[in-house]
Every structure is written in C-alpha cells, then in structure tokens.
Chains A and B, each alone.
Chain A
C-alpha cells in the first residue's frame, strides 16, 4: 500500500524549525491557518452563544437583573446599556441581537466551515502539498482576525454596537445612534469589509486549489463530496459577497459622509427632518443585502452536508448512495441560490409578477436540497453502522435539517409568508437548519478529524453525553418557536412579546405562548451547560486522549488519512496518485472492508466513482 513516508526521512520537515512567530502566527501552512481559523471561530461561536444567553434571560424574565454578569455589564458598557443593578436596556438587547446574528454567521460558522475545515482538510483530500496561494491564505485569516477585532471593539464604542439587526436595514441602520460619529454601525460596516475581503480571498484560494492541485488520477468524479461542497461554496462566496461589499461601502458613505443612497426624501427622525439630499432607496439596500445573504445560507449548509457525507460513508462502511446526484444537486443548489433572494422581501410591496418569479425559484431550490438529504439518508440503508460520536452527530443532522427545510416551505410561499414573516417561526426555521443542522455537522467533523490533527481520540463517553444533551436541548429551544411564530409573536422584541399579551377583550399572545419563553430560555441555559463536557474534552484529549493506533484510525478511504499524524509540512512526501473513487468500502472479494483512494492494488478493477459491485 502506498503511504506517505514519515516526516523524518523526507528531509523536508527537518531542514528548519520555524519557531513561534513564523511557525504559529505568521505561518502560511494551510493546516496552521486552518487551526487559527478553528480556534478563533470557536471562540466567537461561544461568544455569540453567550450574547444569546443574556438575551434569553431578558426574554424569560423581562426587567430582571441578569445574574452573574449583569452588574459587570453595567460597569463595562455604561448605565444607558445596562442599569446599575444589571437589567438589560432595550438598546442593549437590540445590539446583542444584531451582533449575535453577525457573529454567528460571519465570525463563527463560515470561518469554521471554509476557513477551518476547508483549509485543513481539503488540500489533504485532494493530495495537494498546500493551498494554491499559501500567503494569500495567511492574509485571509489576518483579514478575518482584524474584522473580528473591529466587531468586538464595536461594543465599546459610544452608543454601543450595531443594533439594527444583522440585516442592517436602512434607514434605521443609518439613523440609529446618529449622534455619535463613528458609532457601532460604522464599526460594523468596517468590520464587514474586512470579513468580506477575507472570504473573497479565501474562496479564490479554495477554487484555485481544487481546480489546479488535484493529485494525478484524481478526476472530478473521484473527488470526495466534501471537496465538491467546498468547491460550490467557493463560487457562492466569490460571486455573492461583492454586492454586499458594495452595499456596505454605500451604507458607510451614508453613515459617515452624509450621502443618502438608502435614505428616502423627506425622512423625519425624532420629529426633525433629516438634513440629507434624499432620493435614496431603502429597498436597494435590501436587494443588495439579500443578493448575498441568500447564497450565504447555502454557504452555511453545503460544507456541513459535505462533512456529514464523509462521516456517513465512513461509518456505514459502504459508498454514498447517489454520488452523481449529490454532485449535480450541489451544483444546482449553488446556481439556483442566486435566483431566490427576494423571498426575504415578500412584504416590501413587490408586485405579483416578480413575487411569483421568486416564489417559483424558491420552490425549485427545495428540489436539490431534498435530493442531497435523501441521498444521505438512503446511504444509511444496508450499512454496517458504527454509532460513534461523530456518526451520532451526522445522523442527528439529517432529521434536524429535514425539519429546518420543511418549515421553510410556508415561508417560501408568498401567501403564507404574510402571516409568518418576521415572527418567531422564521427564527425556529433558520435555527433548525444552522444550529442542530450545521453546528451538529461541525461537531461531527471535529470528532471525526480530531484524531488526524492531534493523534488522539476525543473521549467517546463524554462525546455521547454531549450529543444526547445537545440534541434534546436544541429541540426544546427551537421547536416551541414555531408555536410562538404561528401565534403571531414577532421577532426582535425586547420584552418577549409581553406588550402583545392577550387581555380582556383584546386578542393577543396567550399566556401559554408567552410562557414558552421560559421553556426556551431554560433549555438554552441547559444547552450551555451541555457544552462544558465538550470544551473540557476538547482540551483534555489533546494530551490525554486515547492515542490512535495508526494513521488511519477510522479505516477511511479518502486521502487525508494517508498522511502521517499530524500531517507534516508539505503533507505528502511523495506525489500521490489516485486510482479509484472516494468511497470504496466493502468491495466484494477484498479482505479489508475499505480500499484507500491511492491504493493501486490491481486485484480490483480500477473504478470511476462507483465500485464494481451493484
């Protein structure tokens, strides 16, 4: 079997020891950059979660001081943000809400999926020594880091962080905190410019690497589905982000230089006419924003599906069902994702013809989604399933993404969206896709690839505890939101809807619906506690986890398992040649139940994407 030889004999890893600064901070090695992304993004994930925990406290117990951190918030952020005894102000609630969304999407999930997993795993899976542009890779991380610092700093700016939603709609985004220059929104816009730049440079790298640096014999239809997912995602980032960058520049001009690209004529703020030229269009912002933000959600889900696919194939010991369907569906998904954006704008007064167009494309895009989910589900059939922790998360992903996708349907129809737009139903829908969806896939990936990066397993018992508790509590958090949304409870309400409570003779939100706030919040606190074993496991196992017995502890077929553990600089000491497809599991007539892609063993006929047996 052809394996890459150990680092010592190559002479490559031995010739210099880069030291801390060029080895860990200014490294251009894709694995180091991937780790930098992973650590930073996981920290932001935790921070974004923490913001939400404080918000959930306010929703369950409106007007009550936040335990543990309330007084500190007041001291750090000032008394107009949090009262002296620690009660959150509406402004603080709004800024936490806006920043929770921004941080989760742009600072946590996308960097984890593309920056961490994409950077670390993809070059290994295609048999490349590094990314096509290593220095650009380093700069992408640095741009992301700077963007993150700016976003974090925005909390401490006079007026506080941006508070007009992660969607930052004008004119509110421009007139909020108008008295301060610069304000939290200015920082948000500057931060977004750095984050978008980071993603653009990263996507150029990912696409170029996959096109140019595939190993010999690694044809397109022999690529692991994870690589296809990263490839399509790269195009989404490349082509969809620039309009938001343009919109961000324009809104920054409105915010800082008195232009009025998005401010209509005759706007009156707090009783006074706004002194701008006017003539702007708030809808223009929405179009430009959603032109990115819709493809963005497919950026959030495609690499996650890629991870789930790898884990499922490996732990069912059989090839993925419908590899070609998966590939073509992901390409279709990417293409269609550019054509659906205005389904976020059904309530803006668009005419019927244009609304119908977007409704049609939105219905069409559910087809490739379902194809991918179905293929992954059918892949389980007849498998010899190993229910290790990563497989639990991967299988858990499937019904959760199913619920998320199905609940999207009433939102995709113009008529039903009239009732559901901007309610908690929407929050439930998208969180199902991203939280027990994407985040479960991320956990699956971490449990799966941790042994390759560190040479040790994460603890299985605590992994299962982590899975079981997370699964239960995530459902307890997001399922009630559908009930609240159908009852008409709006998003982004500081008091949890209390203003709209039903009263004698007045229809409104029932005590049951409002009471669900407490259920959700308590489940959120429990979810936070459920992450503690994971965090401890993550750090403890670096030094004390069970050691792997080989470089390929999961008996996997893909190329990242054919390197030493952890892979050295340059990854493969000899050029890799690929002879078969990515999922040669349980090939009949073979002693082992898997054949690595680079195994030239001629006793099995060389294959394309599918093994020879039926």
Chain B
C-alpha cells in the first residue's frame, strides 16, 4: 500500500502541474458559477437557483476531474510503456489503477470545496452544517462512477480515440444530467437515469430538506457497479498487451 500511496502522490503532483487539467476541473466550474449563479431567480429541483447552480458546478468539477485527466493519461501511459515499466517494479499489480483513482478523487476536492464556499459567500446559500457536509460528500463520492469509467476507457482505447469519446460521454452526461440547465419533458425522463443527475438530485434534495429517494442512491451505486465492472474487464483484457 505504501508504494501505491507514493505513486498516488506523484500522480497528484503531475495533475497539479497540468494547466489544462486544472482549468477544466477548477477554473471552469468556478468561472461558470460566478457568471451564471445570479443570472436567474427561480426554484430549481426544489432549491433556489443559486443553490442549484452551486451543486451543479461542484458536480461538474468533481466529475470532470475524475474522468478527463485519467482516461487520456492511462491510454497514453499504456501506449508509451509506463504501465509496463511499473509492472516490472514491486508495486502491487492493482497499484497503478488504485493510485489513479486516489489522485483523481483527491484533485476533485478543491473544486468541490471552492464552489461550495462561493455558493455560501457569493451566492448567498444558507444551509445547516450537516447539509453542507452531506452535499460535499455526495457530489465528491458520486464522481467515483466517472473515475471507474476513466479506467474502462483508458485501458480499452488508443490515446487518439480517448479524447473525443471521453468528451462526448462527458458532455452527454452533463447535459442530460441537468448540470448546465435544469431539464424538462423527454430529456428529463432520460436524464433521470444518469449518474450526474442522480448525484445532483440527491444533493439538491438534501439542500431543500426533502427526503432523498432510495432510487437515486441505488442508481448511483448501480452506475458505479457497471463502470467498475467495465473497468475490471478492460484491465483484464489488456493484461498481456500493456
């Protein structure tokens, strides 16, 4: 485990140095929040717009942090032979994947925290302390689904295929998950089943004091199981070609 943590520390250091990655996970949701949070006065998913948009942007930050950085890097590092090189070290065979997940989850923390702080002090969102913590944890843990998806894609595809496919999946899930704007009608009925929407809705229910539906939690868990299963299959299928 010590080796895995050492590798995770290096991974976090690399992610922090990568400007493009930091912009997409940190700057993008912050700037969007500052621009949009006060532009509408409405009640969305049972909460004020400023509270809805705070939760949406925190979800955006953590989910994008979990998916985009890792998927592309894993594909590149497999192609360039770094994954192979690591297999020749005493690092446990699952150490690389675990370190990637730890790094992605760790790097998502600041964007969640900063957006929630903005919600409180810029958007004027007032919640009980327990609700703040629950929202942060839900939005952050929900990104585990995308962390697993990143492994599945990164191990299965070539680097030049990963970028467009990851972006496509990412934007589809964000849009029909209600992250950029609340959904209505048909889109909503489809979006109900996305992990992005499920994380968002659990958090807005917590913020609005509504009872959280077990179906939403079950949905997230099912997505996590599906993506983890795909990740496991991808890693196993490529065991002889890394």
Note whether A and B form a binding pair.
no
Question: Chain A: residues with CB nearer than 8 A to chain B?
Answer: none
